[in-house]
């Protein structure tokens, strides 16, 4: 996996819960990509921080889990699919007001089962520029990486 330099700071004008020395929360994130290049975004469920913002699905690692194990579990629990091979891609640290998260992004090209949003969220298959709003700050770097990979004008990755 490739890691970018320094954390991305989201909503930098807001105070950080837990202070400067807070621990990083490890998160496994699935970037599901269809054959036509479209990728899956889901909305943050009702009642959660950043409710309604769009992101790639995934969740926190439980004690003793690998990124791949957590991603398989989270995608089964959240969106009802069983994933095939998991391809570690990039790591991004995001400093949100509520948590310091280490996002382990993994590409997934094969899965089985019908998408079913178990937490009341919505889903949308997207291409660049994405049409859904608002986009979670930790999602923006992925859109930039896609833009670079696909030679898409970087300034227009979000419509």
Q: What is the pLDDT of residue 41?
A: 98
Is pLDDT of 155 > 70? no
pLDDT band at 35 (very low <50, low <70, confident <90, very high): very high
The CATH code of the domain that includes 96 is: 3.90.79.10
Q: Which helix (H) or strand (E) holds 148?
A: helix 140-149
Number of domains in the chain: 1
Q: What is the pLDDT of residue 5?
A: 66
- Count the Cβ atoms, other than its own, within 10 Å of residue 46: 10
Is pLDDT of 29 > 70? yes
User: Rounded distance, CA 65 to CA 130, Å?
Assistant: 32
User: Rounded distance, CA 26 to CA 149, Å?
Assistant: 26
User: Rounded distance, CA 44 to CA 107, Å?
Assistant: 20
Q: What is the pLDDT of residue 20?
A: 74
Is pLDDT of 3 > 50? no
Task: Return the DSSP state at 35.
Answer: T
Is pLDDT of 154 > 60? no
What pLDDT digit, counting tens, does each position of 38-85 carry? Answer: 999 999 999 999 999 999 999 999 999 999 999 999 999 999 999 999
Sequence-ordered list of residues with C-beta below 8 angstroms from that of 84, at least 6 positions apart, any chain: 108, 109, 110, 111, 112
Parent domain of 85: 2-156
- CA–CA–CA angle 48, 39, 65 (5° rounding): 55
């Amino acid at each position: 996996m490739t890691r970018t330099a320094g954390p991305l700071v989201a909503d930098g004008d807001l105070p950080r819960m837990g202070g400067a020395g807070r621990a990083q929360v490890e998160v496994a994130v699935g970037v599901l990509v269809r054959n036509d290049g479209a990728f899956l975004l889901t909305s943050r469920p009702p009642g959660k921080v950043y409710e309604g913002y769009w992101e790639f699905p995934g969740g926190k690692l439980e004690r003793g889990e690998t990124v791949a194990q957590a991603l398989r579990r989270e995608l089964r629990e959240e969106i009802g699919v069983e994933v095939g091979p998991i391809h570690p891609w990039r790591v991004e640290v995001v400093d949100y007001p509520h948590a310091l998260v280490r996002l382990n992004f993994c590409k997934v090209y094969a899965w089985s089962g019908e998408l079913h949003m178990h937490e009341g969220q919505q889903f949308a298959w997207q291409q660049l520029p994405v049409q859904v709003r608002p986009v979670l700050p930790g999602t923006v770097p992925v859109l930039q990486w896609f833009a670079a990979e696909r030679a898409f004008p970087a300034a227009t990755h979000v419509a």
